[in-house]
Amino acid sequence: MSSFSPLLMQDITQVDPQSIAQQRGNTPAETAMLAAFANAPWLADDPAAARDPTTVKLCRADRDLLFQVLMVENVSRAKQAQLESLRAKIDPRHHRVDTLRQSKAPRTFDMVSHIDMDGEDTASDASPRTDVFKLTLQTRSGDIFFAINTEPLGWGSCRWGAKIVVRKGAIFSRGVFCLTPANTVMCSGSMPAWNVGHEHRMVMYLEGKLGGPQEAQGTGANPRKRTAAQADGL
């Protein structure tokens, strides 16, 4: 039985749809991925809108759409806190214990090559986590769009290069899809080469967003200067 695992590990901008036209999925997610890959990419019939999707006002997807994930960012959590957690992951000497959280163990974050989509705090809580994530998505034609979750997605984790299907009916406005569990299928996968040095690249990205390299906490070291433009060029 044929498998779609090769597509899950490929850059969809480099795959000819005809080359997999006869393939069949082994799972519901693979079947959804194949069907969406065969559909025309989002805004493919409107090149001007694809170049500047912020001009497209509120509408709904009229077909299932396949994207690969270029980046995931937790926009519910302070960038400085994310930066400190990444530095602690890269070099434990940068780890800081939050002494105000006396009833809980210090938080830890696994960001080796993926981001935790279920929320980092596993301690008991009266309400479920409602972290909002910003995803940078790419179609097989190379066009870039964004997405945010309006409900917890329950994906577990999402690697760079993962494939997702945005279902017909999903809301799109000003370049952004609104994701819910009902209109999104996580197909998983990744692009291994994109995930090499993930933590260091995220540090550069966050430093750029914060206005430049931040002094390493607890070491007194001052990293080499990088401009925001360089950091945004990841």
Q: What is the pTM of this model?
A: 0.71
pLDDT band (50, 70, 90) for residue 83:
confident
* Cα atoms in the 13 Å half-sphere on the side-chain side of 17: 13
Does pLDDT of 220 surpass 60?
no
List, edge to edge, every strand of the sheet that includes 176-179: 59-60, 171-173, 176-179, 144-149, 133-138, 65-74, 163-166, 184-188
Residue pair 110/116 in contact by the 8 Å Cβ criterion: yes
Taking the C-alpha atoms of residue 32 and residue 12, their distance in angstroms, rounded to an integer, is: 15
pLDDT tens, position by position, 146-175: 999 999 887 767 888 999 999 999 999 999
| CA distances in angstroms from 146 to 8, 63, 102, 211, listed in the order given | 20, 17, 38, 23
pLDDT value of position 11: 94
Q: What is the set of domains in the chain, with CATH numbers?
A: 5-73+132-191 (2.40.50.140), 79-94+197-234 (no CATH)
pLDDT band (50, 70, 90) for residue 143:
very high
pLDDT value of position 151: 92
Of 214 and 23, the one with more pLDDT? 23
pLDDT band (50, 70, 90) for residue 117:
low
- As a whole number, mean pLDDT of residues 55-71 equals 96
Does pLDDT of 219 surpass 60?
no
Does pLDDT of 75 surpass 90?
no
Of 105-114, 131-140, 161-170, 196-205, the range with the lowest mean pLDDT is 105-114
pLDDT value of position 144: 96
